[in-house]
Amino acid sequence: DAGVIQSPRHEVTEMGQEVTLRCKPISGHDYLFWYRQTMMRGLELLIYFNNNVPIDDSGMPEDRFSAKMPNASFSTLKIQPSEPRDSAVYFCASSKPGQGAETQYFGPGTRLLVL
C-alpha cells in the first residue's frame, strides 16, 4: 500500500496568492482528516470527512480556508488569499472505523511558507 499521498511536499508562495494542497487517502479508508502543525500550537485538526461528507469544520481558522472531498480518493485544502501566518506543515490522515480504525495514518505533509 502506498500510504497517504500528499502534494506538493513543499510550497512557497507570496501573501495574497491562492494555495491548494492535495491528498489521496489510503484506499478503503472512509475517514479523512486535515491537520495543521506549528511549533506554537502543535497538531491541530482543521476539518474531517466521513464518506466524502464534511463532518466537523470547526477547526478551520477562517473563511479563507476551504476543503473539499469530491470522491473517496481525493481531497483538497485551499487557502485563498494566503497570509504569512498560514505558514505551517499541513498533514492529511485517513482511517477506517471497524478495523482498529481509531488509528490514523498520516501523509508526509506539505510544508507551506507564505512570504
The yes or no reply on residue 109 touching another protein (CB under 8 A) is yes
Binding mask 69-98 for another protein (x = CB under 8 A): ----------------------x-x---xx
Nearer to another protein, 70 or 98 (CB): 98
The yes or no reply on residue 1 touching another protein (CB under 8 A) is no
The yes or no reply on residue 12 touching another protein (CB under 8 A) is no
**What's the CA gap between 5 and 86, in Å, rounded?**
21
Nearer to another protein, 81 or 105 (CB): 105
Q: Is 21 in contact with 85 (CB distance < 8 Å)? A: no
Among 8, 27, 28, 43, binds another protein (CB under 8 A): 43
Compute CA distances 92 → 13, 14, 15, 16, 115, whole Å.
20, 23, 23, 23, 23
**What's the CA gap between 85 and 74, in Å, rounded?**
26
Among 56, 61, 84, 113, binds another protein (CB under 8 A): 56
